[in-house]
Amino acid sequence: MVQGTVNWNIKLDKEWLQEYVDDWVAFYRKATKEGNVASYIPILAKANPNHLGIAIHGKNGLKICSGDIDIPFTIQSISKVISFMVACMKNGVSYVLDRVDVEPTGEAFNSIMHLEMKSLNKPFNPFVNAGALTVTSMLNGATSSDKLAPLFNLLERMIGYRPSVNQEVFKSEDETSARNRAIGYYLLETGFLESDLEVTLETYFKQCSIEITVDDLARIGLILANDGQDPNNEEEIIPRQIARITKALMLTCGMYDASGKFATYVGIPAKSGVSGGIVAVAPPRVRNAPFPFIEGCGIGVYGPALEDRGNSIAGMKLLKHIASQWDLSIF
Ligand code: DON
């Protein structure tokens, strides 16, 4: 395990970086033993808790991948980043933020408590389930496939292929998610749901069941790090204002009630998913210090062993180490 601060000035080439990341993945794989795979969506319990993989895509074209990088997994709550951006692109930011706030809750992602406590019943942010269901209900179209089409279109532009829904995971959640149904009925009763409840739930469960890899997450992260532009040709994929609001929400709400610690100890926008994915965004640093990926990078991590807030425990520790070694923090 590499200790202390490394003089990256002489180690910026791929071979050295690959060796360090391999070493760090091997070290933090041990942390998978401290977590548990999700089981409230029954099929997610079949994941291998010892898996840990990472992909890092730099704006300078450098890519570093290590560990279990070929394991497909479902995007889960990371899909809320995509649906939020699509809703803003289709309806306008103010329309969306009139209906969903931008405040962290400090509670679990599927907590109902704040819905009742807050005077306007308005969901706190688009990344807790109440906010995500509200956003999904805003997506254009009367059917689930109509609503999902723009999400697949955006994903295809960002990752280079059209991903598919893992139907087993969709079915497993659709059959067991009483909590999301309860949240959905509350939103219906308080007037925040803009579509049929069952269509909204079907769309939401399917968006969460979209299957991706860490490489796909790194591509998405790099586009956000590049303020919504394709790093290869600077073509706009996501309007800059929407990309920036999304990163702000990822920093303050993306890791749920671990968001404060993640912002403090890692310092970059990130969004987790309950199947063990994390997408992280390291914007360009203005410092001309000799660190890797100074022009910015996107990072995708997969580690299905979760800590008690629903975030990948080894993934978070690995990102904390990399951020400290490479000075990724935006602060
Ligand atoms: O709605 C749910 O409970 C899941 N489909 C997604 C939750 C999730 O990914 C929370 N993130 N850590």
pLDDT tens digits for range 77-121: 999 999 999 999 999 999 999 999 999 988 889 988 877 776 566
pLDDT score for 8: 64
Point out the catalytic residue in the list 77, 137, 144, 272.
77
**β-strands 277-282, 63-67 pairing:** unpaired
Closest CA to 118 of 129, 135, 105: 105
Q: What is the mean pLDDT of residues 164-170?
A: 98
Please report the pLDDT score of residue 9 as a whole number.
57
pLDDT of residue 7: 62
How far does Cα 201 stand from its chain's mean position? 20
Q: What is the pLDDT of residues 178-207, one digit of tens each?
A: 999 999 999 999 999 999 999 999 999 999
Question: Degrees (nearest 5) of the Cα angle 135, 136, 141?
Answer: 120
Ligand 1 site residues (CB inside 6 A) read 76-77, 109-110, 129, 173, 180, 208, 272-274, 310-311
Question: Which pLDDT belongs to residue 98?
Answer: 96
- For the chain, give the percent of residues with pLDDT over 70: 95
Closest CA to 168 of 215, 211, 200: 211
Distance CA 310, CA 288 (A): 36
According to DSSP H, which parts of the chain are helical?
14-28, 79-91, 93-99, 113-117, 129-138, 144-159, 167-174, 178-189, 197-208, 214-225, 240-253, 259-265, 313-326
Q: Which of 39, 40, 73, 76 to mutate to test the pocket of ligand 1 (most atoms within 8 A of CB)?
A: 76
Q: Look at the chain and count its residues.
A: 331
pLDDT attached to residue 5: 59
Give tens-digit pLDDT for 9-55. 555 688 889 999 999 999 999 999 999 999 999 999 999 999 999 99
pLDDT at residue number 171: 98
Quickly state the pLDDT bin for 122 (edges 50, 70, 90).
Answer: confident
Question: From start to end of 8-85, where are the E strands?
Answer: 53-58, 63-67, 73-74
pLDDT digits (tens, 9 = 90+) for 281-302: 999 987 777 788 989 999 999 9
Strand order in the sheet with 53-58: 63-67, 53-58, 297-302, 277-282, 270-272
**Cα pseudo-dihedral 143, 77, 251, 100, rounded to 10:** 40
Residue 117 pLDDT:
77
Whole-angstrom Cα distance, residue 33 to residue 55? 22
